[in-house]
Chains A and B, each alone.
Chain A
Amino acid sequence: MKPYLKKIYDWVDERVELQDLVNFMAKKYVPVHRHSIWYYFGGVSLFLFVIQVITGILLLMYYKGSEELAFESIQFIMSKVAFGWLIRSIHSWTANLFIFTTLVHMFSVFFERAYRKPREITWLSGMMMFFLLLGFGFTGYLLPWNELAFFATKVGTEITGAVPVIGKPILEFMRGGDNVTGATLSRLFGFHVAVLPGIFTILLGTHLILVQRQGMSEPHEFKNKPHAEQKTMPFFPNFILRDLTLWLIVLNLLAILAVFFPWELGKKADPFASAPAGIKPEWYFLFMFQSLKYIPAKVFVIDGEVLGILLFGAAGLLWMLVPFWDYKSSRGEQSRFVTYIGLFVVMYIILFTILGWLA
């Protein structure tokens, strides 16, 4: 280390005991095996979160969260603000990539059984963050106040309203009334920039501390290998540098997407206009939306839509609680049943997303 850098380091170390952290990171090792690639998706998701925070703050400088000015302010950002188009496009593309990488991260953790004891809380915090992420997507989608966003929010909130007992109060709470109006925009804006980020940051902090504290999860077969064959790499700097390389590639990918496929703004929402034909939610909600279409209007005495929502709710809850019912994995045994469930869920999501896309 160069003398002047050493001086700065020492100055900080004297006050916050930085060396302890460096020592901790230097001792931390990441297992190297044929599934190591999946470890990087957590880091990429974190990187995308940081991008979202930065671009979101920049957008906040010009965005106006009201019915009259929301659309125009985005228009202004896209056409008049220096690099406004880039910031907005990156924010929108990152939102989608973020959900995608988080999905991949979640499924990789699921198939690797990384949720098993002692990482139940890490899994739970991750799952809660994933649901919050969907909330970010839903609340952020309305903010440009364009035609597509308006009607997608209308349909989305209507589906929420179909939930028995609590559905109607939630719908009114989300909309700020009976209909999607400027009040809805204000509420969702508040959730998007204040409530959700606040909760998300706490969960993310917990998640990261737990990951650092417990280290990377190792697959069953890795543990069973002789000690000499258990390959590892130092978390710092090897893994961090690899992470950084991947982040740079993702950053470049985002720039390419923003330049070649700038996020469109569409037409300003008109509450009195009829909904455009073939309106669909964002791709990450598409499999649920498409599934609801296939459920008959009435199943025995239950409303088809209500049944669908309850089933998805129950499935989500079961998924979240997997560390508590997958005893085999917790005991360190192979659990084919859980693998089959995971495969079924992955195939179901892919199939219904494609069907929804083609519909």
Chain B
Amino acid sequence: MKRKLFYLGLFCTVIFLPAQSLLADDQCISCHTNTVGDKQSELFKHDIHFKKGISCADCHGGNSKLEDMDAAMNPKEGFIGVPKGDNISKTCAHCHADPEKMKKYGSSLPTNQWESLQSSVHGKLSTTGKEHITQCVTCHDSHGIVSVKNSASPVFPLNVVKTCTKCHANASFMQTYNPAMPVDQLDKYRTSVHGVRNRNGDPKPAQCASCHGSHDIRGIKDVKSSVYATNIPTTCSKCHSNAEYMKQYKIPTDQYEKFARSEHGKALLQKHDVGAPACNDCHGNHGATPPGVESVSKVCGTCHALNADLFSSSPHKKAFDERKLPECETCHSNHEIVAATDKLLGVGSEAVCSRCHQTNQNVKGYAVAKTMRSLIDSLEFMEQNAEMLVNESEQRGMEISEAKFKLRDVRQARLQSRTMVHSFNEQKFHDVVGKGMTAASIVQGEAQASIDEYYFRRKGLGVATLIITIFTISLYLYIRRLERKQNKKVI
């Protein structure tokens, strides 16, 4: 026991001795605490910098050893008072951007924060035009700074939201920089799974800095931003693909892999089509939450509006609701959405209809699915045939642009028919496919006529050449005969 007390005493001496000794030597602290009694000096005693032996004079200048206030706070001693504007961050960067100095204090913090802040969206000039929008103290406070891992820190995960919303929930302040930017992020965040857990004291779920970064925050339209459309899946997957990190939440961690394989993922990640949906387009961003069974079609319907409308008025709507089946997801999956080819339709092994419609189960739907597939296959065959004939005609150098243009109507009808599938109404589907088939027949006819014309031209040329050749030979023979006669006359 005595030994334990000895080690405890030794530990306390080692930890607090520098601060106590500094307190005794630092005339700034001594005077501001005992004589002035201001808040800053009181807060600074709990500041991590104070504990590391950094004095007031290291930021404010002056000579902390001198007892005489006028002498200690004399500009000749380097006293600068309270730093203003960018000088605040420069004062911090004096040490925090210097790896040697940081190493001296035993810090493993990165030393590029100031550089990152300057290139970030917060590094733009403020409305005064004299300083950056944000200084270090805007988020970290000035006196009483504690480690980021300390729950009292304004940048501790549970406090970040409050720190960011000091400005970002302030409509009049945000209006001066970006009037189009919403200021309801906090409200939305509190409705999200992340926000609810954060409020309940769980520091692991995403808060502002988890997705947007800290010092290097960039605008959402900046391709380098972690929340730029093509970067969002990677940003979300930092946590959601980390099985160890997500273990306690008992949700799958393969969403990213599935998404990357999906049509949406290929469009976004491979083709860099920023119009393709990222995680936030279905789950929301600040109010991120999994869409419920009821709302799946509404979420998908934000882009696939026609499909969603047709489904809502189809007989499947009621059937799905009764069985509590998520609407779009049941046939198309969620993260791993594959290309909606015609194979999904019908009663074959790859068709999704046959999951519920069999020869002995839901028979009417089975027949409709079979007919629909047959119709769409016929249309596709006719389109291919028409396209082949148009290509053949074009390759033969024929002017076929009008038929080629009409071919678009066939393609359009086929695309419309794929949408019309969601009505699950055979008559409506037949009408759309019928239009496509009529257009395909016209194109086929025109293309075939053009090919026939091609051969007609060649035959015509053959006949014309024959006639011209006969004429030419006849003329040649006539000239020979004529000249022979003329020569005889001369002789």
Contacts and interface: CB of A to CB of B under 8 A. Distances in A.
Interface centre among A86, A259, A261 (most CB of B within 10 A): A259
Given A75-B399, A241-B478, A251-B468, A256 B461 contact: yes
A248 B461 contact: no
B479 A265 contact: no
Interface string B476-488: 1011001100100
B66 interface: no
A70 interface: no
Nearest to B460: A259
Contact of A237 (B450, B476, B482): B482
A238 B458 CA distance: 34
A248 B475 contact: yes
Given A85-B399, A256-B465, A248 B479 contact: no
A204 interface: no
Interface in B450-484: 450, 457-458, 460-461, 464-465, 468-469, 471-472, 475-476, 478-479, 482-483
A259 B476 CA distance: 26
Given A75-B401, A78-B399, A251-B468, A238 B475 contact: no
Interface in B358-410: 397-402
Interface residues of B, number: 24
B401 A248 contact: no
Interface string A263-295: 011000000000000000000000000000000
Nearest to A264: B397
A261 B450 CA distance: 16
B475 A241 contact: yes
> How big is chain A's contact interface, by range?
20 to 34
Interface string B292-309: 000000000000000000
A212 interface: no
Contacts of B469: 252
B400 A248 contact: no
Where chain B touches its partner, the secondary structure class is helix
A233 B469 CA distance: 24
Given A238-B479, A241-B479, A256-B461, A265 B468 contact: no
Contacts of A223: none
Interface in A204-243: 233-234, 237-238, 241-242
B461 A259 contact: yes
Contacts of A255: 461, 464-465, 468
Contacts of B468: 248-249, 251-252, 255
B114 to A, nearest CB: 44
A334 interface: no
B471 A248 contact: yes
A245 interface: yes
A252 B476 contact: no
B479 A242 contact: yes
A56 interface: no
A265 B399 contact: yes
Contacts of B464: 252, 255
A86 B483 CA distance: 37
Contact of A79 (B400, B458, B476, B478): B400
A242 B458 CA distance: 28
B442 to A, nearest CB: 14
Nearest to A233: B483
A251 B471 CA distance: 12
Nearest to B465: A252
Interface centre among B397, B399, B472, B483 (most CB of A within 10 A): B399
A244 interface: yes
Contacts of A43: none
B133 to A, nearest CB: 40
Given A252-B468, A252-B469, A255-B464, A79 B399 contact: yes
A245 B399 contact: no
A176 interface: no
B482 A241 contact: yes
A262 interface: yes
Contacts of A242: 479
Given A248-B471, A249-B472, A251-B468, A238 B482 contact: yes
Contacts of A75: 399, 401-402
Interface centre among B400, B469, B479 (most CB of A within 10 A): B479
Contacts of B478: 241
B479 A245 contact: yes
Contacts of A264: 397
A249 B450 CA distance: 28
B482 A244 contact: no
Contacts of B401: 75, 79
A84 to B, nearest CB: 9
A162 B289 CA distance: 67
Contact of A245 (B402, B458, B475, B482): B475
A248 B400 CA distance: 31
Nearest to B453: A85
A3 to B, nearest CB: 22
A262 B397 contact: yes
A153 B478 CA distance: 48
B392 to A, nearest CB: 15
A146 to B, nearest CB: 12
Contacts of B458: 259
Contacts of A233: 483
Interface string B433-455: 00000000000000000100000
Interface in B319-351: none
Nearest to B469: A252
Contacts of A244: 475
Contacts of A265: 399
Interface in A45-103: 75, 78-79, 85-86
Contacts of B397: 261-262, 264
A31 to B, nearest CB: 16
B420 to A, nearest CB: 33
A239 to B, nearest CB: 10
B462 to A, nearest CB: 9
Contacts of B475: 241, 244-245, 248
B422 to A, nearest CB: 38
Contacts of A261: 397
A242 B476 CA distance: 8
Contact of B476 (A85, A238, A245, A262): A245
25 contacts: A75-B399, A75-B401, A78-B399, A79-B399, A79-B400, A234-B486, A238-B479, A238-B483, A238-B486, A241-B478, A241-B479, A242-B479, A245-B472, A245-B475, A248-B471, A248-B472, A249-B468, A251-B468, A252-B464, A255-B468, A256-B465, A259-B457, A259-B458, A262-B398, A265-B399
Given A86-B457, A264-B397, 8 more contacts: A75-B402, A79-B400, A79-B401, A234-B486, A241-B475, A255-B465, A259-B461, A265-B399
Interface of A: 75, 78-79, 85-86, 233-234, 237-238, 241-242, 244-245, 248-249, 251-252, 255-256, 259, 261-262, 264-265
What 4 A-B pairs come out closest when comparing CB atoms?
A78-B399, A79-B399, A259-B461, A252-B468
